[in-house]
Amino acid sequence: MKKSFDFARNFNSSDGQPIFILEMANNHMGDVDHGLRIIEEMSKVTKKYDFLFAFKFQYRDLETFIHPDYKKRMDLKYVKRFSETRLSEKDFLILKAEAQKLGFITMCTPFDEVSVDMVVKHDYDILKVASASCGDWPLLEKIVSTDKPIIFSTGGAKLEEIDKIVSFLEHRQKTFALEHCVGEYPTLARNLQLNQIDLLRRRYPNTTVGFSTHEEPDNVEAVKIAIAKGARIFEKHVSVRTDKYEMNAYSANPKQVDKWLQSAKEAYEMCGIVGERAPSSEKELADIRQFQRGVFAKDVIRKGERVDTKNTFFAFPNQPGQILTNDLSKYSVFTALKQIKKNDPVIDVSRVDTRDKVYEIVVKSRNMLADAKISVSNQLDFEISHHYGLDRFYEVGAVIITCVNREYTKKLIIVFPGQSHPSHGHKQKEETFHVLSGTIIFILDGKEREAKAGDVVVVERGVKHSFYSKEGSIFEEVSTTHIKSDSFYEDESISKNKNRKTELTYWVD
């Protein structure tokens, strides 16, 4: 039974299955029984593979396709071949029915307008445009009048011609795909031009691209390269050799098709997951870990002490269960669960990841700036002050964005609703606060002063100051150079807390 097939979904989504097209062309030799044998032999091969498969036929209305004066010219190769391999409408329907019964999607290439009507009448799943018809505008006008999805071969077409065809189809909202094709039969390996797949995918990013292959039947490497380049459709001429019928040089027999499909299967296995980062195997992680540096105690680390770059060093080899340099981050807080001796591996620690909390603060800060219509650079240097830890940030803390820090300094300070900043002073820095939004209470040497948007408050050197806001506020700090060691808090525990700030650069757009 044929697998369910939705052309638009299958070829325009990242999880769609690839489709392998088996092209019979005139290899049925005008003999229905031989055509049935080809379909049946190929069905035995394709059942081994979890791909979508289509069988493709070709329609020519020879009464109109061949010029009246040339119909009897058997000295012309293809007039002779088309004439000798002619099938009736009934014959084609027998072959199509057999392909459907064996689970194949059905496709057909019409080479003239009468044949387009026949493709529609016979209700093929997909309509194919051969390279020879790529710029045949009378035929294309007829084809787009149908509701069939279309696959175009681009062999021999110039880029501007393909541009016109893609525009032609897009403006008519047709469902279609393109196939890179080289119209040499067979195509030597050096002439396959597989980089054209990249060109088509880049130039038409919303269009599925395939590979119509005419390479020599024993070549199983080209399909691997095409898959790696992102092709999703693969087409090959197929046939069966018998005592009565020979095969042409570019058609593959069942054994060759089997090797072709096996090669494709191996390529998909090697290429792996599409559109997302592939998970690592346990072996890969173990193999990589053995070469990573471990974290060791520089001096004795006491139980309950924070483990960071100041009291550790990094060296190889690491020990099982030891934290690694790869684990260290400004967002990861490690605390010793028991005393760690000098030079011992850091193993018994607890870990708290603050990344989500920090990101939440950054996002809320960005939103406050936007709501206040304060324009800032898209790259900001954030300093999140959490004097008593991130868990109490919205109670005590502030977000400080440094705009410039030279002989003069400019900062934006964001105070969230209900948040306060503890009392402190500076010996070297003098500050001027310019309120940009909201209302904030400044406490200068114990005296409260309410300030609203537009107000300016000067804090001279040595003046102890703190602030809080009920509704939230943003103000600008303009000051002399900021020096990290020049902040003196009334609560000495804050000054002793070496981890009271999280600094990061963040791109807000």
At residue 12 the predicted structure's pLDDT band, cuts being 50, 70 and 90, is low
Q: What is the pLDDT of residues 77-103, one digit of tens each?
A: 899 989 999 999 999 999 999 999 999
Neighbours of 169 (CB within 10 A): 19
pLDDT of residue 250: 93
Q: Which of left, alpha, beta for 454 (phi over 0: left; psi -120 to 50: alpha)?
A: left
Give the residue-averaged pLDDT of 18-30: 95
Pairing assessment for the beta strands 19-23 and 52-59 based on DSSP bridges: parallel
More confident residue, 155 or 273: 155
pLDDT of residue 2: 44
Tell me the C-alpha distance between 426 and 424, whole Å: 7
pLDDT of residue 416: 98
pLDDT of residue 378: 76
Give the residue-averaged pLDDT of 336-347: 96
Q: What H or E segment, with its residue span, contains residue 78?
A: helix 77-84
**pLDDT surpasses 70 at 158:** yes
Bridge partners of 353, per DSSP, are 332
* CA torsion, ordered 20, 25, 29, 32, to nearest 10 deg: 60
At residue 498 the predicted structure's pLDDT band, cuts being 50, 70 and 90, is confident
**DSSP label at residue 215:** B
Structure tokens of 145?
A: 């009048």
pLDDT of residue 507: 66
Using a pLDDT cut of 70, give the percent of the chain over it.
96
pLDDT of residue 354: 87
Give the residue-averaged pLDDT of 497-503: 84
**Helix, strand, coil % over all residues of the chain, rounded to 5:** 30, 30, 40
120, 146 contact by CB (below 8 A):
yes
**pLDDT surpasses 60 at 461:** yes
Using a pLDDT cut of 90, give the percent of the chain over it.
83
At residue 331 the predicted structure's pLDDT band, cuts being 50, 70 and 90, is confident
Structural domains for the chain = 17-271 (3.20.20.70), 282-352 (3.90.1210.10), 355-507 (2.60.120.10)
- The chain-wide mean pLDDT, for the chain, equals 93
Q: What is the pLDDT of residues 354-403, one digit of tens each?
A: 888 998 999 999 999 999 999 888 777 889 999 998 999 999 999 999 99
Neighbours of 378 (CB within 10 A): 8
More confident residue, 55 or 273: 55
Give the residue-averaged pLDDT of 43-60: 96
pLDDT of residue 14: 52
pLDDT of residue 329: 85
At residue 1 the predicted structure's pLDDT band, cuts being 50, 70 and 90, is very low
Q: Return the exposure string of 76-114: e unless at least 16 CB atoms fall within 10 Å of the residue's CB, then b.
A: eeebeebbebebeeeebebbbebbbebebbbbbbbbbbb
At residue 501 the predicted structure's pLDDT band, cuts being 50, 70 and 90, is confident
For 222-271, list the strands marked E by DSSP. 233-237
Instruction: Answer yes or no: pTM beyond 0.75.
Output: no
